[in-house]
Amino acid sequence: MNNPQRHPATGAPPVKVPASLQAITEQAQQTWQQHLDDIVRRLGRGERLTAEQIYDTLHAQTLCIWWRLMARHLEHADGGGLRPAQAIARFVSWITPYLDNPTPPEPSQVGTRGQDGELELALAHLDHSLALIRQGAARTFLAQAETLEPASLAEQSPSASTGQEATA
């Protein structure tokens, strides 16, 4: 019989996600959902979407996905024995390069003649915009990660060994 209180692979108790991490993840989900609902409502009324509405939605989506991935990673990675501080360090390490990633070249260098040129220009602008959205989301994610309570993150999961140190 499968015990829902135990990790399916190791039989260890599940890792508890710290309340502060859970709160950030839930807030990210709610924010993204609010932006999606707003876009659907506007499209349903036949309104045009603004660049700011699209930016806000994609920014919220990026943050939500990163926080949900971290929570899932914390629950399932390393047989359920990964500590919250370790998971956060991994994600901070993974997301930090987005701050320094060079954005694509300015779209002004793309030709604009004919439909192919228009498509090329539009895609160049979108690539540039998406890179900027990822940079902004990375700044927000890293700022939110810094607010997590160190004491709650340093707690060791029941399945982790007592000698483990948090590493990136």
Out of 14-23, 31-40, 92-101, 141-150, least confident range: 14-23
Instruction: Provide the token pair at 140.
Output: 């927000």
> pLDDT tens-digit profile of 21-80?
889 999 999 999 999 999 999 999 999 999 999 999 999 999 999 999 988 888 776 566
Most confidently modeled range among 82-86, 87-91, 158-162: 87-91
The residues, ordered by sequence, that sit 6+ positions from 5 with a Cβ below 8 Å of its Cβ are 13, 14
Q: Choose between 156 and 99: higher pLDDT.
A: 99
User: How many angstroms separate the CA atoms of 42 and 47, rounded?
Assistant: 5
Instruction: Provide the token pair at 98.
Output: 């987005």
Instruction: Provide the token pair at 165.
Output: 């140190």
Q: From residue 113, how far is each of 8, 67, 116, 118, 120 by CA, in Å?
A: 58, 42, 7, 7, 10
Out of 17-21, 76-80, 129-133, 154-158, least confident range: 154-158
Position 96 scores a pLDDT of 94
Per-residue DSSP letter, 133: H
